[in-house]
Structure 1
Amino acid sequence: MTTEHAPADVLVSSIANRVALDDTDRAAIRAMPFRLRHYDARTYLLRQGGRPEHCAFILSGFAVRQKLTFMGARQILGFLLPGEFSDLQQLFLSRSDHNVQALTSLEVAECAIPDLQHLAMSRPAVGQALWISTLVEASMARENMLNIGRRDGLTRVAHLLCEFESRLPEAGLEDHGYDLPMTQEEIGDAVGLTAVHVNRTLKQLEAEGLIARTRRFVRIVDRKRLLARADFDPDYLHRDQPVFEFAG
């Protein structure tokens, strides 16, 4: 997904994937004031304890949600892709309980929280779409908890690869192959492993003929076997949910 289209048009398209929008809904979204912003890789969009004034809609690049322990150890809570809001929960929570950081060079469209609140409350279909997005994010967080808490190291990494393979086509990127936007250390921070352990598991997945790698590019060689090895069930992503027809 690029910024060759107006941010409002990209947002309209993203919301229309969740709910049916009428012409008034679309006009209200397009009337929203947006500010385009660029973030370099590793830059923070939001810090824990902060009081954000804007919500960011990702146009290109990748970001992560993360939390740090008192000793500075990091847990990546989830990855944010183009076509997603980075911080919808901040619409009604005054203080952030986690960090959002650019993983790669990132371009976002920012809108003031009061403006997005008004849009969500005055246009019920839009509010419904934002609510659905938040529920899906919660579903992904539950799956991530299961992945870290109950799966072995190789399965955790395989599951992460399958999730990216499932989510990236919706962001307008490649099918059956993609550039991993994170280092092995960052993968480890997402699945609770050391970078050394991540490196070993990736090599094992290659040795089993499930993936092939060229630097950071990952190609899915045997998708069926990889899904089984990853204990991956895409239901938690809710990709097959029908577009909601709002009756209001």
Structure 2
Amino acid sequence: MVEKLGSRSRLNLAEQQALSALPHHVVEFGRDRYFSREGDRATHCSVLLSGFAMCHKITASGARQVISIHLTGDLLDVHDGTAETTTSNCQSLSSAAVALIPRTALVALARDMPAIAIALWADMGANASILAEWLLNLGRRDARARVAHLICEMQWRKDAVAHRKSPCATWPMTQEQLADATGLTAVHVNRTLQSLRREGLLAAEPRKLMILDWPAMCDAGDFTPEYLQFGNRGQSGGERTGAFA
């Protein structure tokens, strides 16, 4: 979390140490386990220490819409602000560890150290920017562009977290979960992936999906990374890899 907040807002050593010293306890989860459900009492802020997670909402009829995907270092629920209850469901996509920080402690620290408040504000601003891009993806792009865009986004974000181009980056999303993130059916996602493979943009292996032509994949997904607000972190050319379960 300290590194993630520091990537978008300057924090001095004392501020970094204060964040690291926040009271917390760590909980480990298996795959597909809920960290929290919509309507739970919002007493803690959750930081993803390892693994992957998603936040989603469910309609009265049981349909699910994934509204965000999270990587190591992400704050999962800071967007709930001072709400008394959580506003979405948070669930692991892989084995994961989460640090639970009492909300009162984080709020008090932000009041005492304005730079930390600004860093949290910047992080929420970046999340809002990503959400706006997701709305554009759902509302105005076709199926091919939606899927390609999300694959590009996740690969860029993973490279940014790792500070390098990863030769074998895992991405444990099922096609059903990808469908729920792009407003498609799992069958449509499967057909779209097959089409991208035939075009030579992707190569599939068991549990892996490799981007063979990064510029062409970005064109297919109408993807430019500025909205992620990572600066030049994560940027690289050539092949990139990810994985589907």
Residue number among 217, 227, 235 corresponding to 1:236 in the alignment:
227
User: TM-score, normalising length from structure 1?
Assistant: 0.89
Corresponding residue number in structure 2 for 1:36: 26
Distance (Å, rounded) in 1 between the aligned partners of 2:21 and 2:129? 31
Give the gaps of 5 or more residues in structure 1. Answer: 1-10, 243-248
| Superposed counterparts of 1:34-183, under 5 Å | 34-172=24-162, 175=166, 178-183=169-174
- Aligned positions, number: 232
Letter matched to residue 49 of structure 1: G
User: TM-score, normalising length from structure 2?
Assistant: 0.90
Corresponding residue number in structure 2 for 1:200: 191
| Per-residue deviation, residues 100-150 of structure 1 (Å, max 9, x unmatched) | 111111101111000011111111111111111111111111111111111
Letter matched to residue 178 of structure 1: A
Give secondary structure in 2 for the equivalent of 1:67. strand
Distance (Å, rounded) in 1 between the aligned partners of 2:17 and 2:218? 41
Distance (Å, rounded) in 2 between the aligned partners of 1:27 and 1:140? 28
Distance change >3 Å, CA 176–CA 162, structure 1 → 2: farther
| Per-residue deviation, residues 4-39 of structure 1 (Å, max 9, x unmatched) | xxxxxxx33222222222232123223211211101
Alpha-carbon contact 2:48-2:75 (below 8 Å) kept:
yes
1:23 has 2:13 as partner: yes
Give the gaps of 5 or more residues in structure 2. Answer: 234-245
Distance (Å, rounded) in 2 between the aligned partners of 1:167 and 1:23? 25
Letter matched to residue 185 of structure 1: E
Letter matched to residue 157 of structure 2: R
Distance change >3 Å, CA 12–CA 82, structure 1 → 2: same
Distance (Å, rounded) in 1 between the aligned partners of 2:42 and 2:4? 23
Distance (Å, rounded) in 2 between the aligned partners of 1:83 and 1:23? 18
Give secondary structure in 2 for the equivalent of 1:141. helix
Distance change >3 Å, CA 240–CA 227, structure 1 → 2: same
Distance change >3 Å, CA 131–CA 162, structure 1 → 2: same
Distance (Å, rounded) in 2 between the aligned partners of 1:118 and 1:133? 18
Alpha-carbon contact 2:45-2:75 (below 8 Å) kept:
yes
Corresponding residue number in structure 1 for 2:207: 216
Distance change >3 Å, CA 176–CA 209, structure 1 → 2: farther
How far is 1:176 from its partner? 6.3
Alpha-carbon contact 1:178-1:219 (below 8 Å) kept:
no
Distance (Å, rounded) in 2 between the aligned partners of 1:17 and 1:132? 10
Distance (Å, rounded) in 1 between the aligned partners of 2:165 and 2:31? 21
Give secondary structure in 1 for the equivalent of 2:169. strand
Corresponding residue number in structure 2 for 1:185: 176
Distance (Å, rounded) in 1 between the aligned partners of 2:77 and 2:105? 14
